[in-house]
Amino acid sequence: MATSQSFFPPFLLGQGYDIHRLVPGRPLMLGGVQVAHSMGSEAHSDGDVVLHALIDALLGARAKGDIGEHFPSSDAAFKEMPSRVMLARILPLVLSDGYAIANVDMTVFLERPKLSPYKQTIQSHVAALLALPVDRVSFKAKTAEKFPPVGSGDAVAASAGILLYRLTP
């Protein structure tokens, strides 16, 4: 009996999750879009949980570590770095060897404010960052039904799933 698999279909699944504490006096960035709110993510970078979850999903699909390894919070060079810059830096690594993104599905967990006025903007913005058509990028928003820490308004969280496919065998 074979002990190692020699053929794999040309698909790679990735998933990512992130959560940040919400504090006064910080911008609330979601998918690279600033959302009007009295609080924002406490973070070394801009604390964009949506793009952080997406970056971890992309890295995860290629088994190339996690966001903390690529952008350590101990390194002053990454302080206040916009997450879209982090995303732009890891994309060539993930989209190497003939891999391309099939689709992305993201969910943000936030009690307030309501994100309905921002959903299409965030979807379009992330699609542009990934050079994908908007119908390949899903952005969903949920509350936490008042359960802390998200539901008490003390945190914002996000999850992301991604499918990569290989263009060349």
Quick check: 84 binds Mg ion (CB under 5 A)?
no
Quick check: 56 binds Mg ion (CB under 5 A)?
no
Quick check: 26 binds Mg ion (CB under 5 A)?
no
DSSP assignment of 117-140, as one string?
TTHHHHHHHHHHHHT--GGGEEEE
SS3 of 66, please? coil
**Binding segment (CB under 5 A) for Mg ion, from list 4-12, 49-57, 84-92, 131-139:** 49-57
Quick check: 111 binds Mg ion (CB under 5 A)?
no
Cβ 161 to Mg ion, closest distance in Å? Answer: 17
Contacts with 22 (C-beta within 8 Å, 6 or more apart), sequence order: 28, 39, 40, 41, 42, 153, 154, 155, 156
Please select the residue that binds Mg ion; options are 12, 16, 18, 109, rule is CB under 5 A.
Answer: 18
Quick check: 48 binds Mg ion (CB under 5 A)?
no
Q: Which two tokens stand for residue 155?
A: 């945190």
Cβ 116 to Mg ion, closest distance in Å? Answer: 24
Pairing relationship of beta strands 11-24 and 155-166 according to DSSP bridges: antiparallel
Please select the residue that binds Mg ion; options are 26, 52, 84, 125, rule is CB under 5 A.
Answer: 52
Q: CA 51 to CA 1: how far, in whole Å?
A: 43
Q: Which is nearer to Mg ion, 99 or 159 (CB)?
A: 159
Point out which residues bind Mg ion (CB under 5 A).
Answer: 18, 52
